[in-house]
Chains A and B, each alone.
Chain A
Amino acid sequence: MFHYWNPYFLIVLYVVLGIFLPVASIWVIGPILRPNKPSEAKGSTYESGLEPVGDAHVRYNARYYLFALMFVVFDVETLFLYPWAVAFKKLGMFALTEMLIFIVLLVIGLAYAWRKKVLEWT
């Protein structure tokens, strides 16, 4: 079993060290070295030197929303393709036909999105 788990144990160490580096440099070493003199002008939001107008936490057109939906569809497709590609040698012609049908169905979906102008950034 350790053959399987030990590499993941190493990855956990990567996570710990990846959190340690920013925490140590921003919260431990940084405060000793850097000045801290907050002022009203420094704390204002940057807007090209002008007085900031309103707030940025507003209802904003989430244009990436439709892309995110497309992403979910095609990312799941990619996920299905990975095990298929690994097992391709064993399954042979059967896997090829099955996957061609699968890809054709998704290409029809892509063509539909294309026609409906979902892929445009307007």
Chain B
Amino acid sequence: MWNWATHPVSWLSFLGMLIGTVVILLLTLVVVMYSIYWQRKFIGWIQLRIGPNRVGPFGLLQTAADVFKLLIKEDIIPNKVDRVLFMIAPIIAFVPSFMALSVIPFSRTHVFTANIAVGALFYLALSAITIHGVMIGGWASNNKYALIGSMRSAAQMLSFEIPLGMSIVGVVLMAGSINLNDIIAGQQHSVWYIIPQVLGCIVFLIASTGELNRTPFDLPEAESELVAGYHTEYSGFRFAFFMLTEYVYLFAMAGLFATLFLGGWSGPWLPGWLWFAIKALIYITFQFWVQATMPRMRVDKVMPFAWKVLLPLALFNLVITAVLKAVL
């Protein structure tokens, strides 16, 4: 049932694949729910508040209540929108975010995830597709805030994708493979790549924050100037899918960071999935910490920052890594 990677597909192994996919879907929803809860709780503590504590013990069911509330809210489609594009935009944004999880190796056994040869590249390709969902949603809303927000979002995600991709090349150089499992195997033989690739790791952290549209680069959703950015006109569950996309990408990026720089599921004593969870939680908590600490940057500072600071740094890191690799 679980041997689909080494045997031709039969009905039984197809059932195994289907169960694996459903498990990952449910896992993703739980992770998203509790990362939203953890965000509110963690930022609450930083700001000397209690955070959510009403629904369920310690407020643990708060996000579930929020999702249910969104489900029973009226789904308003304004008169002037482009109906078809307005309706499919959240799906275009969501599907690639979920597909990106398919290549993240969660544990030693690869029964739930696809062990494809071009893992890192596949992730980058998918994260570029989500820009289309955001652009279509913003344009179809026929709202000025949404239009400006989606334009900013497109420019920003394009700009930060370059340093992100460049910083991954350093890791690929070290491991000699784009396959994420081979990258983990390479780290098991030597050290975690966060040590030799410290510059690349810093560039990755900053660029991924920009790519995820999180503070200090959350200009597409700057609520003090653009209300809510590209999803201003969305309500109910369509809005929920834009939010879900954002947090699924947070999870996927955490998984990618853990895989590329922290050795993925490898580690002593504890089982692999637990190591993966700990490392992903470190990245997610780092993002929330930054969110609670940093003010939002000005829009005319963000885009030049990606091109003038991060891209040269990533190129420098790449050249240094290549030269050292050739000389040593």
Contacts and interface: CB of A to CB of B under 8 A. Distances in A.
Nearest to B238: A26
A34 B75 contact: yes
Nearest to B91: A22
Interface residues of B, number: 85
Contacts of A6: 4-5, 9
Given A18-B99, A63-B151, A10 B17 contact: yes
Contacts of B17: 9-10, 13
B12 interface: no
Residue picked from A7, A15, A99, most chain B C-beta under 10 Å: A7
A89 B146 CA distance: 48
Contact of A56 (B9, B141, B154, B241): B141
Contacts of A100: 319, 322
B142 A56 contact: yes
Contact of A29 (B20, B71, B79, B172): B71
A29 B98 CA distance: 21
B166 interface: yes
Given A22-B94, A82-B172, A103-B315, 16 more contacts: A6-B4, A11-B114, A13-B21, A14-B98, A40-B79, A42-B74, A42-B78, A56-B146, A56-B147, A57-B142, A71-B159, A78-B124, A81-B166, A82-B178, A96-B322, A119-B304
Interface of B: 4-9, 17-18, 20-22, 24-25, 71-80, 90-91, 94-95, 98-99, 101-102, 113-116, 120-121, 124, 139, 141-147, 151-152, 154-155, 158-159, 161-162, 165-166, 169, 172-173, 176-178, 227, 232-233, 236-238, 241, 299-300, 302-304, 307-308, 311-312, 315, 318-319, 322-323, 325-326
The list of the 6 closest CB pairs from A to B, nearest first, reads A64-B155, A7-B114, A18-B98, A43-B79, A18-B95, A78-B165
Interface of A: 2-3, 6-11, 13-15, 17-19, 21-23, 25-26, 29-30, 33-38, 40, 42-48, 55-57, 60, 62-64, 67-68, 70-71, 74-75, 78-79, 81-82, 85-86, 88-89, 92-93, 96, 99-100, 103, 107, 110, 113-114, 119-122
